[in-house]
């Protein structure tokens, strides 16, 4: 019995020590997390989900839009960019309500059209609008595709209408076979669970974000990745798969065109895949050239800025780690877009400046001088009449007087 009690006592001490250790580690972790939040107040900027939210649209399901009221900074973990993003109450990247979009150039699409990584005034839509003297309004979502684009249009108030619409079409993410898309979730494996856990911790922990930033600076993760040689990339093209992708994607673009008034011009800005610009990937190139050819045949205006981007080089028009365009890439695409938009959307006439025609002022007419008052002759002085003196009568002689 004593041995048993002693064994139980030893086990209790071990369990107590382990519990105490766990508590100490938890407390130390909380203290370290608090210290990291104080030392690294910008840690939340690396969580891109802060910008996005979901909303349900009748008949179209859940759609990802901007988080209403967001006003802050978003940074790329490797230091590619740090940009300010403001989302209005309707979920658009704008500081004006959706009602202000009436008569403007609308920019529709996914993260390139949204301007991920650049300031709002640096996006290709803003560049084109500024070149043409047009007001612009962004109707884009970082997580959109061609199916979501139609839902984004449906969110706009029925009282507003665009002057023209630019659809940003990413060859890499927008062009796919929507009719045979795989909707089932992949099986959950240990690797996927660990990945999801790491993503959750990265979004909620300042300590993890700080440590990962320090490690990236030390091990060279922030250095720009080297481009793969062209010869190492497969150059064979599955023509049947390309045709299916183009047919399905063009059908979605047709739905977007049908959702717009017939008199509103639609211009599609093709966004070449990064590997197409960098290495001439055969599949992406076939998709890009194929969609340009088919859109042109359907009478839809299309802009392909590939030549302008390739002339400058992939390293200058894309961020080193993030796959989006830099400000220079947006500028080149915006300039090409403006050239196509110019004949379709004439610049608004400048506001008429009222011309004030001076009215001749007549010389003032002098009022007639008043007639001079009649001059009266001076009145003759009035002389008081001389007093009349009456002579007194002579006194009678006294009776005793002698003559």
In this structure, is residue 254 part of a structural domain?
yes
- CA-to-CA distance for 64 and 56, rounded, in angstroms? 9
Q: Is 70 exceeded by the pLDDT of residue 184?
A: no
Q: What is the pLDDT of residue 204?
A: 76
3-state secondary structure of 152: helix
In this structure, is residue 173 part of a structural domain?
yes
In this structure, is residue 44 part of a structural domain?
no
The torsion angles phi and psi of 159, rounded to 5 degrees, stand at -85, -5
Q: What is the CATH number of the domain that holds 128?
A: 3.40.50.1110
Q: Is 70 exceeded by the pLDDT of residue 348?
A: no
Q: What is the pLDDT of residue 401?
A: 40
- Per-residue tokens: 330: 């947006």
In this structure, is residue 392 part of a structural domain?
no
Q: Is 60 exceeded by the pLDDT of residue 31?
A: yes
Tokens 């947006």 -> residue: 330
Taking Cα atoms as reference points, which of 157, 123, 150, 151 lies closest to residue 138? 123
Sequence-ordered list of residues with C-beta below 8 angstroms from that of 34, at least 6 positions apart, any chain: none
Q: What is the pLDDT of residue 42?
A: 79
In this structure, is residue 63 part of a structural domain?
no
Burial of 256 (0-12, 13-18, 19+ CB in 10 A): buried
Kindly report the pTM of this predicted structure: 0.77
The torsion angles phi and psi of 289, rounded to 5 degrees, stand at -65, -35
Q: What is the pLDDT of residue 400?
A: 44
Q: How far is CA 203 from the centre of its chain?
A: 24
In this structure, is residue 91 part of a structural domain?
no
Q: Lowest-pLDDT range, 18-27, 109-118, 332-341?
A: 18-27
Q: What is the pLDDT of residue 19?
A: 82
| Total domains in the fold of the chain | 1
Q: How far apart are the first and last CA of the chain?
A: 207
In this structure, is residue 361 part of a structural domain?
no
Q: Structural domain of residue 114, as residue ranges? A: 101-182+191-223+238-341
Q: Is 70 exceeded by the pLDDT of residue 162?
A: yes
pLDDT (tens digit, 9 = 90+) per residue, 61-91? 788 899 999 999 999 988 899 999 999 999 9
- CA-to-CA distance for 367 and 356, rounded, in angstroms? 31
Tokens 């004949």 -> residue: 343
In this structure, is residue 41 part of a structural domain?
no
Q: Is 60 exceeded by the pLDDT of residue 231?
A: no
Q: What is the pLDDT of residue 227?
A: 52
Q: Is 50 exceeded by the pLDDT of residue 115?
A: yes
C-beta neighbour count of 87 within 10 angstroms: 21
- CA-to-CA distance for 152 and 398, rounded, in angstroms? 156
Sequence-ordered list of residues with C-beta below 8 angstroms from that of 53, at least 6 positions apart, any chain: 64, 65, 66, 67, 68, 91
Enclosing H/E stretch for 302:
strand 301-303
3-state secondary structure of 73: strand
Angle between helix 239-258 and helix 146-155 axes, rounded to 10 deg: 10
C-beta neighbour count of 371 within 10 angstroms: 6
Torsion, Cα 82 83 84 85, to 10 degrees, reads -120
- CA-to-CA distance for 249 and 272, rounded, in angstroms? 15
3-state secondary structure of 108: strand
pLDDT (tens digit, 9 = 90+) per residue, 130-145? 999 999 999 999 999 9
């Amino acid at each position: 019995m004593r041995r048993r009690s002693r064994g139980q006592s030893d086990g209790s001490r071990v369990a107590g020590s382990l519990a105490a250790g766990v508590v100490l580690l938890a407390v130390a972790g909380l203290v370290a997390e608090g210290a990291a939040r104080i030392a690294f107040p910008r840690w939340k900027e690396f969580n891109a989900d802060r910008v996005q939210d979901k909303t349900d649209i009748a008949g179209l399901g859940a759609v990802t839009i901007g988080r209403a009221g967001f006003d802050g900074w978003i940074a790329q973990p490797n230091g590619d960019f740090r940009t300010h993003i403001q989302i209005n109450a309707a979920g658009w990247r704008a500081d004006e309500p959706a009602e202000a979009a009436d008569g403007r150039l609308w920019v529709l699409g996914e993260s390139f059209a949204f301007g991920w990584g650049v300031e709002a005034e640096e996006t290709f839509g803003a560049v084109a609008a500024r070149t043409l003297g047009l007001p612009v309004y962004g109707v884009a979502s970082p997580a959109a595709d061609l199916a979501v684009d139609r839902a984004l249009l449906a969110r706009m108030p029925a009282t507003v209408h665009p002057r023209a619409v630019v659809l940003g079409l990413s060859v890499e993410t927008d062009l796919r076979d929507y009719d045979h898309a795989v909707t089932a979730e992949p099986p959950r494996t240990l690797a996927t669970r660990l990945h999801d856990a790491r993503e959750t911790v990265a979004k909620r922990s300042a300590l993890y974000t700080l440590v990962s930033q320090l490690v990236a600076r030390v091990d060279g993760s922030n250095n720009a990745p080297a481009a793969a040689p062209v010869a190492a990339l497969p150059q064979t093209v599955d023509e049947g798969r390309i045709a299916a992708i183009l047919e399905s994607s063009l059908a979605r673009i047709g739905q977007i065109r049908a959702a717009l008034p017939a008199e509103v011009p639609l211009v599609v800005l093709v966004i070449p895949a990064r590997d197409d610009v960098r290495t001439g990937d055969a599949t992406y190139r076939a998709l890009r050239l194929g969609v340009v050819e088919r859109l042109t045949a359907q009478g839809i205006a299309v802009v392909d800025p590939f030549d302008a981007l390739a002339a400058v080089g992939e390293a200058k028009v894309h961020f080193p780690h993030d796959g989006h365009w830099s400000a220079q890439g947006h500028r080149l695409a915006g300039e090409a877009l403006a050239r196509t938009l110019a004949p379709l959307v004439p610049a608004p006439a400048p506001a008429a400046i009222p011309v004030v025609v001076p009215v001749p002022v007549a010389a003032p007419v002098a009022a007639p001088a008043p007639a001079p008052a009649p001059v009266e002759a001076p009145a003759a002085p009035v002389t008081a009449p001389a007093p009349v003196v009456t002579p007194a009568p002579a006194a009678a002689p006294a009776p005793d007087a002698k003559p």
